[in-house]
Amino acid sequence: MRLLVRALIALLVLGAAYGALNYLASERVEVVTLHTVDPAGLPTDTRIWIVDRDGAAFIRAREGSGWYARVRAAPNLELTRGERRARYTAVARPELRDDLNRLFRTKYGWGDAFISFTLGGRSDAVALELVPLRPSSLAP
């Protein structure tokens, strides 16, 4: 019985350590908030990473993610970066995937490596360019 209790405690400690490491990896560098609408019309916010390339902003998705399904259904979206909330349309740019993966790895460092490892890699990432719908920002 004592061995079982120790094993359970060890699992809880490992789980907590993994959760803390995952949070630290995800939140320690720039994180933006993607504002989408679910199929029922309810607003849904998702915190994601972003990189810049040649003056344009890019995000990346996994094919099975819920937020990516919402973006595919309605590619016009809002995104808050810092204090600025703006409207964009998401345009798939598959030819930039490898370059963007390198930019994400450079910007997010070990956090990107850790998250990529837990997700099984980024070779199937969907690169999305955020094309501004209008130049002015929206009120938060």
Residue 125: DSSP 8-state: P
Confirm whether pTM is higher than 0.85.
Answer: no
On whether the CB atoms of residues 125 and 64 are closer than 8 A, the answer is no
- The pLDDT, as a whole number, for residue 19 is 67
Tracing tokens 């490992």 back to the chain, one arrives at 14
Block mean pLDDT (10 aa), the chain, length 140: 80 72 70 93 94 96 91 93 95 95 92 79 89 64
**Rounded to a whole number, what is the largest CA-CA distance in the chain?**
65
- The pLDDT, as a whole number, for residue 111 is 84
- The pLDDT, as a whole number, for residue 120 is 72
- The CATH code belonging to domain 30-132 is 2.30.110.10
> H/E element holding 73?
helix 66-73
Cα–Cα distances in angstroms (integers) from residue 63 to residues 40, 85, 126, in the given order: 21, 25, 7
Compute the distance between CA of residue 21 and CA of residue 91 in angstroms, rounded to an integer.
32
- The pLDDT, as a whole number, for residue 139 is 46
On whether the CB atoms of residues 48 and 31 are closer than 8 A, the answer is yes
Counts for the chain of helices (H) and strands (E), in that order:
3, 7
- The pLDDT, as a whole number, for residue 29 is 84
